[in-house]
């Protein structure tokens, strides 16, 4: 597989996404880093982290909780308080000053939380009262997941209202758009999949019912944002957070058919299973059904990204670990430069080590 020269590489072609023009087709994937400040407020360190990576055609923020009851991990930022909005505004201002574009990923973790993380030690909520296998990450260390409380139908409007409030706050914070996180075993994904949704009301049973909440959330946030400023993330066969579906291809064919009617900015898909490395879903079929801009994500290299774009199997490629370790990833790809190795021990939590101290090319030259 031959890496193309920058002048011929589709990675460095601009892309029109609604009324936004992306300077290249390299996207920084949403990456949880557990480095928010007190009150889950973004800090100056977070500002530096995002601006270091501003050469991506589009930045997508780490998953950001829509309310205090949506929290699932320590030191993850929110978008539900005035202080959080102000913290994020510093980041968007800095990104825009450097000519970048940034979307916020909106997040409700659903059952992937723990009472110790939530107000009044409340139970996490989910479509059904099914305890996930595994442990929650809490301020007191790892603790077994609990059995969540199934949301009542009368509570669904409150969840949707939290998404709307977060979408409004994202506008106040100066973002260019939002991505609705519907992947990786969190609340909206829990509703989509039959392994976690065993309801017998209008939000369960058939795939049409299971995707009703996502459809309603999108209709609601599109009252705040134009549809071309809204993206959605899916992970059809990822089993992370003890999530599964008995028929992922047919389930997500239907979900994507529904999403195609929303005229979204893009569809962002994690192509495969993070835990087992499987890839059984036909993602080209999902792209065809969606019809709009398709963002592929799952261990892409420069060569495999260029191949996917050249063959028309994607319109953008999201890079995760490569952007963690290489803040100037586009420049490295252009120059054919070596890549920094990511330090997995510093992925989650900590200070600048493994966060903002990865060297850029110019810095490396000065040290040489």
Q: Other C-beta atoms within 10 Å of 17: how many?
A: 24
What is d(CA 121, CA 187) in angstroms, rounded to the nearest whole number? 19
CB neighbour class for 19 (10 Å; exposed up to 12, middle 13-18, buried from 19): exposed
Long-range contacts, 204-209 (Cβ 8 Å, 24+): 204/127, 204/128, 207/250, 207/251, 207/254, 207/255, 208/254
Residues 6 or more apart in contact with residue 43 via CB below 8 angstroms: 35, 36, 37, 87
**For residue 74, which phi and psi values (nearest 5 degrees)?**
-65, 150
Q: What is the dihedral of CA 32, 330, 344, 241, to 10 degrees?
A: 40
Q: Which residues are catalytic?
A: 186
How far apart (Å, rounded) are the C-alpha atoms in residues 184 and 75? 19
| Separation CA 37–CA 51 (nearest Å) | 18
CA–CA distance, 358 with 327 (Å, rounded to integer): 7
Cα separation, 275 vs 58, whole angstroms: 27
Q: What separation in angstroms does the CA of 245 have from each of 163, 191, 248?
A: 25, 11, 5
Report how far apart, in Å, the C-alpha atoms of 291 and of each of 135, 259, 322 are. 38, 10, 28
HSE (side-chain half, CA atoms, 13 Å) at 38? 0
Q: Are strands 58-60 and 125-126 parallel, antiparallel or unpaired?
A: unpaired
Q: Are 253 and 289 in contact (CB under 8 A)?
A: yes
Please say whether the beta carbons of 239 and 276 come within 8 A: yes
Q: Which structure tokens are listed for 209?
A: 């019912």
DSSP state of 277: -
């Amino acid at each position: 597989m031959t890496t193309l020269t920058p002048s011929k590489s589709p990675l460095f072609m601009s892309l029109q996404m609604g009324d936004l023009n992306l300077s290249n087709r390299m996207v920084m994937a949403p990456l949880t880093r557990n480095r928010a400040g007190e009150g889950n407020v973004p800090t100056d360190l977070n500002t530096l982290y995002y601006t270091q990576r501003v050469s991506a055609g589009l930045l997508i923020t780490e998953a950001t909780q829509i309310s205090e009851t949506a929290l699932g991990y320590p030191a993850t930022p929110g978008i539900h308080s005035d202080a959080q909005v102000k913290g994020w505004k510093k980041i968007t201002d800095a990104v825009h000053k450097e000519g970048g574009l940034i979307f916020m990923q909106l997040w409700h973790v659903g059952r992937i939380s723990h009472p110790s993380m939530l107000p009044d030690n409340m139970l996490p909520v989910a479509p059904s009262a099914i305890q996930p296998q595994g442990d929650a990450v809490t301020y007191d260390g790892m603790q077994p997941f609990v059995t969540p409380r199934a949301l009542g139908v009368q509570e669904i409007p409150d969840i949707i209202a939290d998404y709307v409030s977060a979408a409004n706050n994202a506008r106040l914070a100066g973002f260019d758009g939002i991505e609705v996180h519907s992947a990786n075993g969190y609340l909206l994904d829990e509703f989509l999949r039959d392994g976690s949704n065993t309801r017998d009301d209008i939000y369960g049973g058939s795939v049409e019912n299971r995707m009703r909440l996502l459809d309603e959330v999108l209709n609601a946030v599109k009252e705040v944002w134009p549809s071309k400023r809204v993206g959605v993330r899916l992970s059809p066969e990822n089993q992370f957070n003890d999530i599964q579906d008995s028929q992922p291809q047919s389930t997500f064919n239907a979900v994507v058919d529904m999403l195609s009617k929303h005229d979204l900015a893009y569809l962002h898909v994690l192509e495969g299973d993070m835990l087992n490395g499987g890839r059984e879903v036909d993602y080209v079929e999902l792209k065809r059904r969606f019809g709009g801009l398709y963002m592929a994500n799952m261990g892409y290299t420069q060569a495999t990204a260029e191949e996917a774009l050249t063959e028309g199997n994607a319109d953008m490629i999201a890079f995760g670990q490569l952007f963690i370790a290489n803040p100037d990833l586009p420049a490295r790809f252009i120059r054919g430069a070596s890549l920094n190795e990511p330090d997995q021990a510093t992925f989650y939590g900590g200070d600048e080590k493994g966060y903002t101290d990865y060297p850029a090319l110019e810095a490396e030259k000065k040290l040489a």
